[in-house]
Amino acid sequence: MAFEITDANFQEKVRDNKGVAVLDFWAEWCGPCRMISPIIDKLSTEYDGKALIGKVNVDDNSEIPVEFGVRSIPTILIFKGGQLVDKHVGLTTQAVLAQKIEAHLAA
């Protein structure tokens, strides 16, 4: 299960994270978000101990989406060393996300 990222724990879990963090911005009412959710959960298991895979509920947490200009969901943001390094908007496959994660883990 992906880690829940909130406005309150973002600094500690993402900004202060020296490694790779992948955030899925979603909402309960969003159909495409529900479609990508199992992919995010699988990635969280696959990359456990290698990368932080988290979810940000945009209805409950407004600061992070505003800071990073998230206007459409699902949006996937990838951070490395606390800095935004990649962004994907809309549905995608597990393979595409895994490839992006691997690239940032290797860099």
Q: Looking at residue 1, what is its pLDDT? A: 79
pTM for the model stands at 0.95
Domain count within the chain: 1
pLDDT digits (tens, 9 = 90+) for 15-63: 999 999 999 999 999 999 999 999 999 999 999 999 999 999 999 999 9
At 106, the pLDDT band (50, 70, 90 cuts) reads very high
Structural domain boundaries, residue 51: 3-106
pLDDT digits (tens, 9 = 90+) for 75-99: 999 999 999 999 999 999 999 999 9
Tokens coding 94 = 């597990």
Give the CATH number of the domain where residue 62 resides.
3.40.30.10
Q: Tell me the catalytic residues.
A: 30, 33
Cα(92)–Cα(107) distance, integer angstroms: 22
Q: Could you tell me which of 48, 105, 103, 98 has the C-alpha nearest to residue 76?
A: 98
